[in-house]
Amino acid sequence: MNILVVGRGGREHAICKKVSESPLVDQVFAAPGNSGMQNCAKCISIEESDHEALVKFAKENGIELTIIGPEVPLLEGLADRFRAKDLLVFGPNKNAAEIEGSKSFAKYVMNKYDIPTAEYEVFTDFELAKAYVLEKGAPIVIKADGLAAGKGVIVASNTDEAISALQEFLLHNKFGDSSAKVVIEEFLEGEEFSFMALVHGTTIVPLELAQDHKRAFDGDKGPNTGGMGAYSPVPFISEHTKKIAFETILKPITEALIREGRSFTGVLYAGLIDTANGPKVIEFNARFGDPETQVILPRMKSDLVQVLFQLLKGETPYIEWHSDAVLGVVIAANGYPDAYEKGFILPDLGSLSNDSLVFHAGTIMSKDGNLVANGGRILLAAAYGDSLLDAQLRVYKALSKVHWEKIFYRKDIGHKAISHAVLNS
């Protein structure tokens, strides 16, 4: 069969690679894809926003399943367009994807159906928001209501920082309409983890856990980014905690969306925090996480395509997993997540590809055949290991062999989990 993957980033590269390994698949197409995907997919020059062209391509090329990677086309109704043309698609309809598209909507649903999350209020007025921050004090969390490419969250350590974020969001329109409304939340203490599940209505198939590193610099310093690295499994989150999260968060939110007339089909991503009072929701996404997908899918022993077809038929597939750990490090352009340079030639990645998994995100091939940086997050290098420490040593050794320029990467991905393992060994 022919499979279409919509998107161009590292997440989509990981999806294409996993799908291409299925014996059920003849050809994987990526729209628009990127230069690094060419060994596992045929890239087609159709933008994610060109819904009509994507539907036409799927019809004309016998596409039997389309997997939509990014959130923006989902919130623009791409899955709706495919279903209207009787094309099988894995991704939520526009109204179900609102669980990611509006943080205030997600909070409303969680509040209505008693799903554990941080105390919050929603504001569009700067003075009212400022008064609330001064009343509650810091630390406190300021979130742009809409999509902001993972950069619309400020964890303010003091009230001045919080008020500055409110000015940027509400008065200076930092993210346009996305920050015209803000959610202000209490700061929760605990370890964060990513819990994704494949969902079709009331059927929920949990994936392995991962932990993302959002801050730009070592020691969890600097601004929030789209993610600087990730690893799986997460040893300090117990099976008991995972079970509680499934029963009190993932299961209730899928049932709530059905009751709200927004039945969900696709990947439900729950960004959670393990507090002293149990797991609570930080955020929901309506698609595979990035960079978590790049470390979770390599651990999946089962055939992803077969799993998705079983799920969409109303069955509950069983997923087998490799016991190996996978740890991935993002290579980013200097300046990311703020202003950064594009268009510079990347070094030869031959040795990196030989020693690790490489998932391209912001790369493009120039006319003269050079691989060029074309985004803030350029690529992710990952490695398998018998343990997280083993995987960490392998990936950093591979990265050290490359002569990098104009980029940076964190040197401490996985440090908390590895320290935890050492303390408990």
pLDDT (tens digit per residue) in 345-364: 999 999 999 999 999 999 99
Mean per-residue pLDDT, 252-275: 98
Residue range 285-341, pLDDT digits in tens: 999 999 999 999 999 999 999 999 999 999 999 999 999 999 999 999 999 999 999
Mean per-residue pLDDT, 142-170: 92
Q: What is the CA radius of gyration of the chain?
A: 21
With cut-offs at 50, 70 and 90, classify the pLDDT of residue 420. Answer: confident
Using the predicted structure, report yes or no on whether residue 265 has a pLDDT greater than 90: yes
Q: pTM of the predicted model, to two decimals?
A: 0.95
Residue ranges of E strands in 53-164: 63-68, 89-90, 120-123, 140-144, 153-156
317 in Cβ contact with 391 (< 8 Å): no
Q: What is the pLDDT of residue 423?
A: 67
- We report the CATH number of the domain holding residue 81 as 3.40.50.20
| Percentage helix, strand, coil for the chain under 3-state DSSP, each rounded to 5 | 35, 30, 35
Same domain, 338 and 418: yes
Domain membership of residue 112 (yes or no) is no
Q: What is the pLDDT of residue 101?
A: 95
37 in Cβ contact with 13 (< 8 Å): yes
With cut-offs at 50, 70 and 90, classify the pLDDT of residue 151. Answer: confident
Least reliable range by pLDDT among 139-153, 162-176, 194-208, 346-360 = 139-153
- We report the CATH number of the domain holding residue 167 as 3.30.1490.20
Domain membership of residue 111 (yes or no) is no
Using the predicted structure, report yes or no on whether residue 419 has a pLDDT greater than 90: no
Same domain, 270 and 332: no
The proportion of the chain whose per-residue pLDDT surpasses 90, expressed as a percent, equals: 94
Mean per-residue pLDDT, 248-275: 98
Q: What is the pLDDT of residue 136?
A: 96
Domain membership of residue 318 (yes or no) is no
Q: Residue 96 corresponds to which tokens in the numbers above?
A: 């179900």
381 in Cβ contact with 398 (< 8 Å): yes
The proportion of the chain whose per-residue pLDDT surpasses 70, expressed as a percent, equals: 99
Same domain, 333 and 259: no
Same domain, 264 and 292: yes
Domain membership of residue 393 (yes or no) is yes
Residue range 190-218, pLDDT digits in tens: 999 999 999 999 999 999 999 999 999 99
Domain membership of residue 398 (yes or no) is yes
Mean pLDDT score across all residues of the chain: 96
With cut-offs at 50, 70 and 90, classify the pLDDT of residue 150. Answer: confident
Domain membership of residue 81 (yes or no) is yes
Using the predicted structure, report yes or no on whether residue 422 has a pLDDT greater than 80: no
Same domain, 208 and 258: yes
Q: Residue 334 corresponds to which tokens in the numbers above?
A: 């200097």
Same domain, 60 and 12: yes
Mean per-residue pLDDT, 32-47: 95
Same domain, 78 and 161: no
Same domain, 265 and 196: yes
With cut-offs at 50, 70 and 90, classify the pLDDT of residue 425. Answer: low
Which residue in 209, 214, 207, 218 sits closest to 229, CA to CA? 214
List, as own/partner pairs, every contact residues 103-110 make where C-beta atoms lie below 8 angstroms and the sequence separation is at least 24, other chains included. 103/143, 103/144, 103/145, 103/146, 103/183, 103/283, 104/145, 104/181, 104/183, 106/281, 106/283, 106/284, 107/183, 109/253, 109/256, 109/257, 109/260, 110/253, 110/281
- We report the CATH number of the domain holding residue 220 as 3.30.470.20
Same domain, 173 and 233: no
Same domain, 88 and 142: no
Residue ranges of E strands in 286-336: 325-333
Cis peptide leading into 92, omega within 30 of 0? Answer: no
Q: Which of 161, 186, 211 is at the close of a domain?
A: 186
Q: Which of 166, 186, 206 is at the close of a domain?
A: 186
Cα–Cα distance measured from residue 30 to residue 422, given in angstroms and rounded to the nearest whole number: 41
Cα–Cα distance measured from residue 126 to residue 170, given in angstroms and rounded to the nearest whole number: 6
Q: What is the pLDDT of residue 227?
A: 94
- We report the CATH number of the domain holding residue 333 as 3.90.600.10
Q: What is the pLDDT of residue 61?
A: 98
Q: Within 13 A of 382's CA, how many CA atoms are on the CB side?
A: 30
Mean per-residue pLDDT, 10-15: 98
Domain that holds residue 261: 191-312
Same domain, 55 and 127: no
Domain membership of residue 288 (yes or no) is yes
Query: How many domains are contained in the chain?
Result: 4
Q: Which of 312, 347, 377 is at the close of a domain?
A: 312
Same domain, 342 and 401: yes
Domain membership of residue 19 (yes or no) is yes
Cα–Cα distance measured from residue 19 to residue 29, given in angstroms and rounded to the nearest whole number: 10
